[in-house]
């Protein structure tokens, strides 16, 4: 990958990382909790609970994305950014533009998704999975 492309991705990834961290700081400052004394009825309590759960899910997704961004930035430093972890080929620039944290070329990603549809995964090939055994009851 060209040096100018690497710098473009470094800037993009760093900006997204900073945005996520700033959002996390703002959310932490808000101290999102539910105080049942502040909630007049069960519907308001349910709504508050739903909002709290959504905030937790958003934080978890952002934490996961932050890890991917840190990995991508490390790969830029190592010189392996834009190289498919599965086949070792260069990942198309268009794919990198669309998803800069990707680690697989489109062909390998499609193969992984097809395998997942059939019940396998990239990290656990079909031939290494244990077959499910029926539960046998003595009664």
Most confident of 3-17, 19-33, 124-138: 3-17
Which residue is it, tokens 């473009």?
8
DSSP string, 85-111: TTT-PBPPHHHHHH-TT--S-HHHHHH
Domains located in the chain, CATH noted: 1-81 (1.20.120.910), 82-122 (no CATH)
Give per-residue pLDDT as tens, 15-66: 999 998 888 777 766 655 555 555 566 666 566 666 666 776 777 888 899 9
Four-residue CA torsion sign, 10, 13, 69, 123: negative
In this prediction the pTM is: 0.68
- Whether 56 and 11 have beta carbons less than 8 Å apart is answered as no
SS3 83: strand
């Amino acid at each position: 990958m060209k040096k100018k492309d690497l710098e473009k991705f470094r800037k993009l990834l760093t900006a997204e990382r900073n945005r996520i961290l700033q959002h996390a700081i703002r959310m932490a400052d808000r101290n999102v909790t539910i105080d049942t004394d502040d909630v007049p009825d069960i519907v308001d309590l349910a709504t508050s609970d739903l909002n709290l759960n959504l905030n937790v899910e958003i934080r978890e997704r952002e934490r996961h994305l932050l890890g991917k961004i840190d990995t991508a930035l490390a790969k830029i430093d190592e010189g392996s950014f834009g190289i498919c972890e599965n086949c070792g080929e260069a990942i198309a620039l268009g794919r990198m533009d669309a998803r800069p944290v990707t680690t697989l070329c489109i062909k390998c990603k499609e193969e992984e998704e097809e395998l997942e549809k059939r019940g396998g995964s990239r990290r656990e090939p079909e031939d290494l999975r244990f077959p499910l055994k029926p539960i046998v009851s003595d009664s």
